[in-house]
Amino acid sequence: MKHQPVHSVVSFYVNRYIAWEDQLTLQCNQLQRSRILRWVFAWASRLGDGAGWYGLMAVLMLLYGAQLAVPMAWLLFSAALGMVIYKLIKHHTARVRPLHRNHHLMVSILPLDRYSFPSGHTLHACNFAIQLAVMVPALGVALAVAALLIALSRLVLGLHYLSDVLAGAVIGVILAWFSLQLQSTM
C-alpha cells in the first residue's frame, strides 16, 4: 500500500474542516430569519464594538471609585495590547470574512474591516468580561452571558467563522489571565 505525503493528508482534513465551518456559518446565519434573534445578535454585536464595555467601565468607576482605578488601568492596558495583537494577526493572515465569500449569507451589520481572523469582538469580550468579573464578582454571570452573546453574534451575523471566534476567545482569555497575574504581583 502506497502512503500519501503528509501535506496531502493534512490538506484533505483542512479542506474538510473548512467546508464544515462554511456550512456551520451558513446554518448559524439562518437564525437571523427570526426578527427577534436578528435584533438580539445585532444589539450584542454593537455593544461589543467597545461602547458597551467602556460605558460599563465608566459606570463601575462612578460606583466603586478609586478601588477600581488600578484594575481598570490594567484592563485598559490589556485592551490596548489586545488591539495590537489583533491587528498584527489580521494583517498577516488576511482571512476574508464569510460574508465576502458566501453571497447566501444574510448581512444585517457591516463589518468594521475586511478580514475575519481573529474575532476582535470576541477577544475583547472575553478579556473585559473576565477582568470585570474579578473586579465585581456580582456581575460575573451577566458578563459571561454578554461575552457569549457577542461571540455568537459574530457567527450569526456572518461576520466570522467558528475558528475566528475561538481564536479571539483564546487570545482574550490569555490577555485577561496575563493582566490579572501582573496585577497580583504588584
Catalytic residues: 121, 160
- Return d(Cα 167, Cα 132) in angstroms, integer: 21
Listed in sequence order, the residues at least 6 apart from 185 whose beta carbon sits closer than 8 Å to its beta carbon are: none
